[in-house]
Structure 1
Amino acid sequence: MQHALYVAPFAELSDPARMIDLAEAAEGGGWDGLFLWDHVHRDPGEVRDIADVWTMLAAVAVRSWRLRLGPMVTPISRRRIAPLVRQTVTLDHLSAGRLVVGLGLGVDTAGELTRFGEVVDPVARGAILDEGADLLARAWSGQHVSHRGPNFTVDGVTFSPTPLQAPRIPLWFAARDRALRPVRRAARYDGMFIIEVDVTLLQRALDEVVAVRGSLDGFDVAVRVSPFDDPALLDVPGVTWALHSYPPDAEAAWVLADAAAGPPR
């Protein structure tokens, strides 16, 4: 079992200096990863200060040497594919091959999608996610990419450099509650970050992964650890990561103290 801090670059942790302090404390405390929420807007009554996830991850990458890091999760529906390819590969090189890319549909909490004219319909966002994830993996491979789809166009481009990690940067996909379509999507790639499940629903999701892949070999399963989650989730065979979650307005001193204390073993 590997343990990661799962925090939002919001409020006090929107300060890059504090995030760097957190990364250094997590390294010293023996944590295995540091994953950041990816949002551009929240309810101002909850939190106002929000930092860019990619800039924060770059700061974490240059001030750490062992931590796995990445966005958890990025909705491709509000990203453009070419900048996303360049950002992820650059960050993979900057971190010496420690990047994990979490992908999902995104949410419209406080109008995060509607306020910026983004796609809201979940079926449409699912189609964008499927097409975009396939394109991202193809672009990372170094192959010549020619693609004209309903949501993305890449007209004969070979992206270089390619990631340090082979066969690709790990792609984890968000899943929640009873929905199995996101689980099947995750099973085609490298991992799943699943929330809002009990032990029974988690086992159901893992059975679905096995039905798609044949086994859980080489597949990461990350579960959230918070006051709202059953700690028994960590005892389910197949779970490989515990993401210790903090509220969006968490005080930096609280998270920093936990980082320095290290993960439960």
Structure 2
Amino acid sequence: MTLRSALWFPLFDELADPAVVVRLAAEAEEAGWDGLFVWDHVRWREPVRAAADPWIVLAAAAAVTERLRLGPMVTAIPRRRPTKLARETATLDRLSGGRLVLGAGLGSDRFGEEFSRTGEELDDRVRAAMLDESLAILRAAWSGETVRHRGEHYVVDDIRFEPVPHGVPVWIAGFPGKTAPMRRAARHDGYVPVNLDHPDQLAAAMDTIRGHRADAGASGPYDVAVSLLSDADFAAYTAAGMTWWLTDFDPHTITLDEVRGVLRDGPAAR
């Protein structure tokens, strides 16, 4: 399988200007990159001051590109209403001609206190239940069938969501070795390992995910998106299961010039 490459960065400070990111998207497509994925946060700890909304930025990027895969990587679904997210994802996927990838996870209050400062749920176990319930609602909404859902956290009473997307892959973020994220990732279309230190960790995680998928009778393409510095051992990570390389930047020091430098160096395939 060919390794694909995506620019992946936070929409902070210099990169909080949507016009700047739109230009980067056009340049990335011209330079042969396969994707452009952005962080989804409402705030971050200092020295970061400015942040942009990923959905509006991605919609603008979709309008000036034709081939790039686009998406939030990752969005903390438990702080979003699933019915609103169903509309947003379908609309963005249609606008892009079927190029949306939805990166999904629990989120964390650790780096920006964006849950505690906004009254969102802080308990990881509760957010995990909210995540699974939301993903079930999204799948149902994307099918075009009438959604009838009464769960612990959400209600959707006889709503049909049209137009439907072309097909939105869901990649699940999680720590390698954690049981629940591994099982969740196996139920969807891809995996985004968090805080990965070594290719052996990825290989072990993929063995677990493949086992869960085999037990469930799951088949079809499966993507594994790993954030690495450009001088990492790509061969070892690819052998362990990586299908996408996500560029790695420090959110506290990232600059537009730094992103442009990586962009111009080109994707891993070069």
Runs (4+) of structure 1 exceeding 4 A deviation are 227-233
Map residues 29-178 of structure 1 onto 2, 5 A cutoff.
Answer: 29-43=31-45, 45-108=46-109, 109-165=111-167, 169-178=168-177
TM-score, normalised to structure 2's length?
0.92
Per-residue CA distance 1:134-166 (angstroms, 9 max, x = gap): 11011000111111111111011111100022x
Per-residue CA distance 1:177-221 (angstroms, 9 max, x = gap): 431310110110100111322222211111111111127741111
Give the partner amino acid of 1:204.
A
Say if 2:248 is the partner of 1:245: yes
Aligned-pair distance for 1:15?
0.5
TM-score, normalised to structure 1's length?
0.93
Say if 2:217 is the partner of 1:213: no
Aligned-pair distance for 1:112?
1.2
Residue number in structure 1 paired with 2:11: 9
Gaps of 5+ in 1: none
Task: Give the SS at the match of 1:235.
Answer: helix
Do 1:196 and 1:229's aligned partners in 2 also have CA atoms closer than 8 Å?
no
Map residues 227-246 of structure 1 onto 2, 5 A cutoff.
Answer: 231=234, 233-246=236-249
- The aligned length equals 261
CA distance in 2, matches of 1:136, 1:110: 27
Task: Give the SS at the match of 1:111.
Answer: coil
Per-residue CA distance 1:81-138 (angstroms, 9 max, x = gap): 1110111001001111100000000010231110000001101110000111111011
CA distance in 2, matches of 1:118, 1:236: 39
Do 2:43 and 2:114's aligned partners in 1 also have CA atoms closer than 8 Å?
yes
Task: Give the SS at the match of 1:211.
Answer: helix
